[in-house]
Chain A
Amino acid sequence: MSGLKRRLAPVLLLAALLLPMLASCHGARALEAFEIPETFDTSRTYEITFWAKNDTNKHQTRVYEQAIAEFEALYPNVTVHLRLYMDYGRIYNDVITNIATQTTPNVCITYPDHIATYKTGTNVVVPLDGLFDDEKYGLGGSEVRFASPTRSEIVPQFLDECVIGEEHWAIPFMRSTEACYVNKTYVEALGYTLPDVLTWDFVWEVSEAAMAQDEEGTFLVNGQKVMIPFIYKSTDNMMIQRLRQSGSGYSTADGEILLFGDDTKEFLYTVAEHAATRSFSTFKISSYPGNFLNAGQCLFAVDSTAGASWMGSDAPLTDISPENIVPFETAVRMIPQLDPEHPQMISQGPSVCIFNKRDPQTVLASWLFAQYLLTDAVQIAYAETEGYVPVTTRARETEEYKDYLARAGEDDTDHYAVKILASELLLAHTADTFVTPVFNGSASLRDAAGQLIEKVTNSVRRRETVDDAYMEKLFTDVAALYRLRVGNQGGSATASEKEELGPLPVPAVVLLSVLGVTWIVIASYAAREFVKKRRKSASVS
């Protein structure tokens, strides 16, 4: 979540630009495909690096450190070096930079979208199906020195999210979704009853109602000069989920892009309408939704369930001064829906992948550590740090975890009610979650989806005209920015890292011309010498 760190510059585009580096790795220096050793050689020592992400949350750092210490106690011949990141984009970028030099980490927290890019290098990432099923070292394997979950004890839906193509390339580590954190006190003060399932129409309507001001510009609902009723943290998720709910296309599994269609345009017009009244804004434009929510300056704050500890008047984590926090009742709801009877929301959260190395024993050590992250103790401890849920049914069914959930609201720290309500939201709606197709370029498509909302919101705030001509240009510009090849029909496109190259640049033309002329000169000289030689030999004879 936040914690005084400024929003980070997008790095995914940079990573996309580095893709040719991966392609160039194909060849002599490529690693051999990993083969599972017969036995884990414990007479040797191994040093493995684990690149992890924490949400600027000391409890998460502690869980990682504890997991490493426990694993090293079980496997004294393995040393795990932890490197912490604060955002996925940086991990992605650093991994890609390190693929070229074969200095990737051994174990890495990541998103499947990112693995799809890593996989464009040969044998860079280790496919996991063989390891899952290995009798000795696989999930629940006989030689594993800890209580490893079996394959069937991992929530199937979450495990499926790690399939790219035909194989598993990661294991899920934690799962979250997005939730709408609501200032119920203000919603009711405006004369509305908060429904169990929010609809987009309800959120837009109440947001507009909250914009009423007195003659001096003070908002009536909160008595303050600042009010942004509806703030969305991740606008890529906002677009993706809205399209899913309406049954509109986003992309196909094989990378055909359906984002730039009429439904997207229609939704962007709605966004523009409410951005114009300033009843809607985004994290990138205004700041963290939780900061406004807690200051009584926002009614509907959409953020990850993994940010629940920052939400509400009594939140244990906060970025704003205590004197700026306003008391109100916080309700946790699913994100706004189109069809309340059939809610749909995104499944997100970190997964773990393993990078291939020349030494298969080191890869096996990496796999054992990755597997350790699925043990009950790690799963429960990490899930409790935020509104995450464990990815194994086994951890979920422990008395310890059930007791944790049952104690919601007992305190405002470990059992902070909003945090546990957020976890329970996902536990209750796992079947209503979805993920977007993963392919090489899907990370760029995700960025593009968010960028459409950011651009429209900014444009309206700057009093630019948002009409069909604007939309057409927006689609073209965003597709170009993220290197998405737009087709001629129905707004479909293909994610491609290879653009049309266009005409050769002038220096290249000159160089090629010089080379051509040089060859002509050489050929002429050779021909002349040949003729001279023939004449000479003819005259001799």
Chain B
Amino acid sequence: MKKALAVVFVLVLALALAACGNDANKKSEGVMTYAEYDAAALDTQVTIEAYVQAKQSWWDDKATVYAQDPDGAYFLYNMKCSEADYAKLTPGTKIKVTGYKSEWSGEVEIIDATFEIESGTWKAAAKDVTSLLGKEELVKSQNQFVCFKGMTVAASKDADGNDAAFLYNWDGSGQEGNDLYFNVTLNGETYTFTVESYLCDSSTDVYKAVKELKIGDVIDLEGFLYWYNGVNPHITSVKAAK
């Protein structure tokens, strides 16, 4: 009896693993691969399958979401979504999205989209793009969950012209709760990173961590490779460099 139970238990486990162990690369019928999506012209309808990596905002039955598959990432802007469904879009959730490929200030995105939740989960590991900073090929990683290693915090000029490690809003015109902007340098080049307050509000660890930064700190960062007239990463984690 014990042996029979053990066999049943192993079979159940094996079945469960088979069910969970989905192939994140596999696409359903009629769904584009990332390469096909990448090649699609702007303003054409696209259907993709991807896994939610982060939620940026929900307003008025519209959600803005970072999603990714093993080959590339998608920014889903103002996707039709009920508040109840938004709650279900936890990181890793697989979704099938149909919308229109669009571009806004260099950011390639899917707009006017609808989605359905599918079975399967997958989370992207942060891709190290430190060495790609300043290079044209960085754009190929647009919207992906990425990391930057060993960046040095550089001074920004606040509203009064003083050096500051970070600013509320791009020019220091904001206050607690607004976006945070900070400069980091690598190999003599300066880059501006953002803590987007809709993606990570003032209660998050990253928001608090950036407020504690000092000029000269050497840090590792994670975030999503957003684009606005050039690279403008939306940072989700800041830690002292290892």
Contact = CB atoms under 8 A, between A and B. Distances in A.
A321 B105 CA distance: 13
B59 A10 contact: yes
Contacts of B179: 4-5
A536 interface: no
A462 B43 contact: yes
B45 interface: yes
Nearest to B158: A58
A320 interface: yes
Interface residues of B, number: 32
B119 interface: no
B174 A321 contact: no
Contact of B60 (A6, A14, A462): A14
Residue from the set A62, A83, A287, A291 with the largest chain B CB neighbour count within 10 Å? A287
Interface string A47-86: 0000000101111111000000000000000000011101
A9 B173 contact: no
Nearest to A4: B170
Contact of A13 (B45, B60, B169, B232): B60
Nearest to B103: A286
B100 interface: yes
B181 interface: yes
A461 B102 CA distance: 10
B172 A58 contact: yes
Contact of B228 (A6, A83, A84, A286): A6
A461 B41 CA distance: 11
Contacts of B194: 4
A3 B169 contact: yes
A7 interface: yes
Residue from the set A14, A56, A463 with the largest chain B CB neighbour count within 10 Å? A56
A258 to B, nearest CB: 26
Given A58-B159, A462-B45, A3 B170 contact: yes
Given A84-B178, A321-B229, A461-B43, A7 B104 contact: yes
A82 B178 CA distance: 13
Nearest to A284: B104
A510 interface: no
Contacts of A123: none
A453 B192 CA distance: 35
B147 to A, nearest CB: 22
A68 to B, nearest CB: 13
Contacts of A3: 169-171, 173
Contacts of B174: 56, 61, 84, 86
Contact of B112 (A9, A59, A458): A458
Interface string A428-460: 000000000000000000000000000000100
Contact of B78 (A9, A58, A59, A291): A9
Contact of B64 (A9, A54, A287): A9
A287 B44 contact: no
Nearest to B105: A287
B171 A9 contact: no
Given A9-B64, A56-B173, A60-B173, 8 more contacts: A9-B59, A9-B62, A14-B60, A61-B173, A84-B173, A84-B178, A319-B228, A458-B43
Interface of A: 3-7, 9-11, 13-14, 17, 54, 56-62, 82-84, 86, 285-288, 291, 319-321, 324, 458, 461-463
Interface of B: 43-45, 57, 59-60, 62, 64, 78, 100, 102, 104-105, 112, 159, 169-175, 178-179, 181, 192, 194, 196, 228-230, 232
